Chain A
């Protein structure tokens, strides 16, 4: 048995596309630019990054759905390009969202079909399917068509499908996307239980709390490259020397945000919108009190609670990602 469940060295992937017939235009996008990582057997490893950072491409390179443009990757010691079938026997893949299931079939039929595909022995199928339906709490609803399922139920069925053949390595690509908080908590529990039984899990997520709670180590990927790698505690150090000011506001404009960003001592500034409320988060140098300057820039804006706090893993993540973000900024408002 290989020392590592997942090994990647210098992994690169370039997408090439061509548009137009008379004047064809070729376009190249370097989605992954040299990823190196190793994940130990039984480890729960997180891959964090903004949209378009290269998370899904990295997962698809590791799970054999894409062939790398350069570099190598091995799963349980098997090469993802030349030993595809050996790799596929050992992996499970679950992605977030509504797609990936046969909607007009029942959950049981979906699992039965994939059990056949993934080589679960016939005599074991019935028991395994019942076991997994119970694990993801779909027992009792297994004969209903999937088209009538909620997103949470579909997500749970995805997980059951990914576990049918007892994979040694499980790739979870944003499994909690669009799932309600209660279902997300249960999902986290399922993932933690899997890792506890020795399954290696590679998880990509946007949710910092999820990564913080579950992952032993986290890699932050941005611009196709790993920008930071370590335990959640180690990653928090990327926000050392900073403090965070949070201001609840109603009507912060882009111009005001841009003005706040160039204030002396300000390192990052962003706005998250929840309903009618905006949450302005300003990261600044620890020794500089920017509160008065920020509030002055917000003159005329209706304000709520103002809080100063120590940086969290999420702030460290923002600091890491923004370090490679292309200038110039105005920062855009992000809908929560």
Chain B
């Protein structure tokens, strides 16, 4: 069921003209920002790292807005009630949606790397090309599971978008997607360590620029699995709350 749901939600998402337009424009902006940031920092040798970081930001945005926005979109489409009516655990109905948002986020990574190569001549020389091909889907799977935890809170909130917007920049900043964690204040360390995004980003960076990929990827997936379990439990609780508060439908 998760496989069919993932396939069809990915199909539904990737056919949206808004999504396509966003996916075309945002990576250019993010690649440009990253490249100039690193050039200004006199670190032109780390341009690939910059492009990968920008791509990760795109994946995170896709998961965040996808998970929050997908629930809201299900509400607008009138499908949230229909999927919640299925005789299944609520988490099983929502997980394919959050995974699909992560899968469509892969496009942001690819597009950012492509734009970086075409516009700024960034050499795509990966330290571990094969591991990069494993780290990216692994990171995406982790983020998709983390998305379920986010989505479980969004089911209850009719104005989930407000929460979504406030989470975008802090998370990619604290996760070290673009800026190294060492330059951030010390108090952000524990927060970063608890986020699967941090370990996912680290695994992808290590695959691109060199470093032990597996430990980071393993920690990312372990934390994400924890998020999945908590998200699934929360989803059951939240679904009941939503039925009591009448927030499954728009009206």
Chain A residues in the interface with B (C-beta under 8 A): 15, 63-67, 85-86, 88-89, 91, 93, 95, 97, 99-105, 109, 112-114, 116-119, 145, 161
Residue of A nearest to B82 (CB): A100
Residue of A nearest to B245 (CB): A16
> Least Cβ distance of B192 to chain A in Å?
32
Which B residues touch A88, using CB under 8 A?
85-87
Since A64-B85, A89-B87, A99-B79 are in contact, a sample of 13 more A-B pairs with Cβ atoms closer than 8 Å, ordered by chain A residue number, is A15-B246, A67-B240, A93-B81, A93-B82, A99-B76, A99-B78, A100-B78, A100-B82, A101-B77, A102-B8, A103-B77, A112-B8, A118-B86
> Least Cβ distance of A88 to chain B in Å?
4
Chain-A contact segment, one of B11-19, B105-113, B129-137: B11-19
Residue of B nearest to A99 (CB): B78
Closest 10 CB pairs of A and B: A99-B78, A117-B86, A100-B78, A88-B87, A104-B15, A89-B87, A116-B1, A67-B244, A116-B4, A85-B87
> Least Cβ distance of B126 to chain A in Å?
34
Interface of chain B residues 125 through 146 with chain A (CB within 8 A):
none
> Least Cβ distance of B67 to chain A in Å?
17
Residue of B nearest to A119 (CB): B87
Which A residues touch B86, using CB under 8 A?
88, 114, 117-119
Q: Determine whether B5 belongs to the interface, using a CB cutoff of 8 Å to chain A.
A: yes
Interface of chain B residues 35 through 91 with chain A (CB within 8 A):
76-79, 81-88
Interface of chain B residues 197 through 227 with chain A (CB within 8 A):
none
Task: Decide: A100 and B77 in contact? CB cutoff 8 A.
Answer: yes
Task: Decide: A113 and B78 in contact? CB cutoff 8 A.
Answer: no
Which B residues touch A118, using CB under 8 A?
86-87
Which A residues touch B87, using CB under 8 A?
85-86, 88-89, 118-119
Which B residues touch A117, using CB under 8 A?
1, 5, 83, 86, 88, 93
Interface centre among A99, A100, A103, A109 (most CB of B within 10 A): A99
The residue from B8, B81, B249 contacting A109, defined by CB atoms under 8 A apart: B8
Task: Decide: A116 and B246 in contact? CB cutoff 8 A.
Answer: no
> Least Cβ distance of B155 to chain A in Å?
13
Which A residues touch B79, using CB under 8 A?
99-102
Task: Decide: A113 and B85 in contact? CB cutoff 8 A.
Answer: no
User: Would A112 and B4 be within 8 Å (CB), given that A64-B85, A67-B244 are in contact?
Assistant: yes
Contact count band on B: 20 to 34
> Least Cβ distance of B18 to chain A in Å?
11
Judged by DSSP, the binding face of B is helix
Which B residues touch A114, using CB under 8 A?
82, 86
Which B residues touch A65, using CB under 8 A?
81, 84-85, 243, 248-249
Which A residues touch B243, using CB under 8 A?
64-67
> Least Cβ distance of A87 to chain B in Å?
8
The residue from B16, B246, B249 contacting A104, defined by CB atoms under 8 A apart: B16
Chain B residues in the interface with A (C-beta under 8 A): 1, 4-5, 8, 11-12, 15-16, 76-79, 81-88, 93, 240, 243-244, 246, 248-249
> Least Cβ distance of B240 to chain A in Å?
7
Which A residues touch B77, using CB under 8 A?
99-103
Which B residues touch A89, using CB under 8 A?
87
Which A residues touch B244, using CB under 8 A?
66-67
Task: Decide: B85 and A93 in contact? CB cutoff 8 A.
Answer: yes
Task: Decide: A113 and B82 in contact? CB cutoff 8 A.
Answer: no
| Alpha-carbon separation in the docked complex, A65 to B239 (Å) | 10
> Least Cβ distance of B77 to chain A in Å?
6
| Alpha-carbon separation in the docked complex, A91 to B82 (Å) | 12
Task: Decide: A104 and B12 in contact? CB cutoff 8 A.
Answer: yes
Residue of A nearest to B244 (CB): A67
The residue from A63, A91, A102, A112 contacting B12, defined by CB atoms under 8 A apart: A102
The residue from B4, B16, B240, B246 contacting A113, defined by CB atoms under 8 A apart: B4
> Least Cβ distance of A89 to chain B in Å?
4
Which B residues touch A101, using CB under 8 A?
77-79
| Alpha-carbon separation in the docked complex, A67 to B83 (Å) | 17
Q: List 9 A-B contacts (CB under 8 A).
A: A65-B84, A66-B243, A99-B77, A100-B77, A102-B12, A102-B77, A105-B12, A113-B4, A119-B86
> Least Cβ distance of A50 to chain B in Å?
16
> Least Cβ distance of A20 to chain B in Å?
14
User: Would A113 and B81 be within 8 Å (CB), given that A15-B246, A64-B243, A88-B86 are in contact?
Assistant: no
| Alpha-carbon separation in the docked complex, A85 to B87 (Å) | 5
| Alpha-carbon separation in the docked complex, A145 to B16 (Å) | 12
| Alpha-carbon separation in the docked complex, A19 to B87 (Å) | 34
Which B residues touch A93, using CB under 8 A?
81-82, 85
Task: Decide: B8 and A113 in contact? CB cutoff 8 A.
Answer: yes
| Alpha-carbon separation in the docked complex, A105 to B15 (Å) | 9
The residue from B12, B82, B88 contacting A119, defined by CB atoms under 8 A apart: B88
| Alpha-carbon separation in the docked complex, A65 to B15 (Å) | 29
> Least Cβ distance of B238 to chain A in Å?
13
The residue from A63, A64, A97 contacting B78, defined by CB atoms under 8 A apart: A97
Residue of A nearest to B74 (CB): A102
Task: Decide: A116 and B12 in contact? CB cutoff 8 A.
Answer: no
> Least Cβ distance of B103 to chain A in Å?
16
Task: Decide: B11 and A104 in contact? CB cutoff 8 A.
Answer: yes
Residue of B nearest to A89 (CB): B87
Which B residues touch A103, using CB under 8 A?
77
Which A residues touch B16, using CB under 8 A?
104
